[in-house]
């Protein structure tokens, strides 16, 4: 049985984002292969992918290491997201399916209920699922890939504060879905831009001494796995 490199890549990326591997730390093929229960071949392929994404760098005499992004690089990510998320919403208004709308409306409904109850942990997960589904609704593979990578890297570099009025944040998401449902691309774009701008104000760059550690305020992109789930891998 050969474990796909993308499964190993996902597991390593999740552990980098969640702080299992600190910034600047070495990533040796042998130790990674042992940790995830795979051979060194998919680990090597995964490290190449993660290097192309900016999570890993190769250093002379040290090999693969977790990257150490600068504050400027982190700021650039938020700016990129503010440009790309509105574009994704506009395309979603033009290309979404009824299945996308059903999921988006369901997430807004759940988010509004949890916000009224003050269930913060659920809100973080629901917010991530909402924006992931909105990106998927754009039916633009390249844009979806970029937004997914941005979400991972932003979660890695920033701690995110909960909005003072989460009910308002979910009302904004509901308005975005309404615009998408009507096929109003420009309104979907404008509302998403406003929402992204407000959300950016809640991001706090991690202090250097906290690099690689997750704080309670950071919403996970995915549930971190300490091993590769091979249940769905075909023999």
pLDDT tens for each residue of 15-52: 999 999 999 999 999 999 999 999 999 999 999 999 99
Q: Residue 99, exposed/middle/buried by CB under 10 A (0-12, 13-18, 19+)?
A: exposed
Closest C-alpha to 40, from 20, 12, 62, 79: 12
**pLDDT given for residue 2 in this prediction:** 57
How far, in Å, CA of 45 to CA of 200, rounded?
A: 33
Name the one residue in this structure whose structure tokens are 């950016």: 200
Cα dist from 63 to 23, 25, 29, 182, whole Å: 14, 10, 10, 52
- Which is it for the CA torsion 26, 27, 32, 34, positive or negative? negative
**pLDDT given for residue 224 in this prediction:** 38
pTM (two decimals): 0.78
Q: How confident is the model at residue 117 (pLDDT cuts 50, 70, 90)?
A: confident
Residue 229 pLDDT > 90, yes or no? no
**pLDDT given for residue 38 in this prediction:** 92
Q: Can you read off the two tokens belonging to residue 40? A: 């060194």
Helices (H), the chain: 5-18, 29-36, 40-53, 71-95, 98-117, 120-136, 141-157, 166-182, 185-200
| Chain center to CA of 185 | 24
Better-scored residue on pLDDT, 104 or 155: 104
Residue 211 pLDDT > 70, yes or no? no
């Amino acid at each position: 049985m050969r474990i796909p490199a993308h499964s190993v890549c996902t597991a390593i990326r999740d552990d980098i984002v969640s702080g299992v591997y600190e910034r600047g730390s070495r990533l040796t093929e042998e130790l990674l292969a042992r940790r995830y229960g795979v051979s060194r071949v998919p680990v090597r392929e995964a490290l190449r992918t993660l290097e192309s994404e900016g999570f890993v760098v190769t250093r002379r005499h040290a090999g693969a290491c977790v990257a150490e992004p600068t504050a400027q690089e982190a700021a650039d990510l938020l700016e990129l997201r503010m440009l790309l998320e509105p574009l994704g919403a506009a395309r979603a208004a033009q290309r979404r399916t009824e299945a996308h709308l059903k999921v988006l409306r369901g997430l807004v409904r759940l988010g509004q209920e949890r916000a009224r109850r003050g269930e913060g942990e659920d809100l973080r997960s629901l917010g991530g699922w909402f924006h992931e589904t909105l990106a998927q609704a754009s039916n633009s593979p390249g844009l979806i890939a970029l937004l997914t990578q941005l979400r991972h890297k932003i979660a890695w570099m920033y701690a995110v504060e909960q909005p003072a009025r989460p009910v308002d944040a979910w009302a904004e998401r509901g308005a975005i879905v309404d615009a998408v449902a009507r096929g109003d691309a420009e309104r979907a774009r404008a509302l998403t831009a406003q929402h992204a701008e407000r959300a950016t104000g809640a991001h706090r760059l991690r202090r250097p001494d906290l690099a690689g550690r997750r704080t309670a305020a950071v919403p996970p992109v995915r549930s971190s796995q300490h091993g590769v789930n091979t249940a769905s891998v075909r023999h």
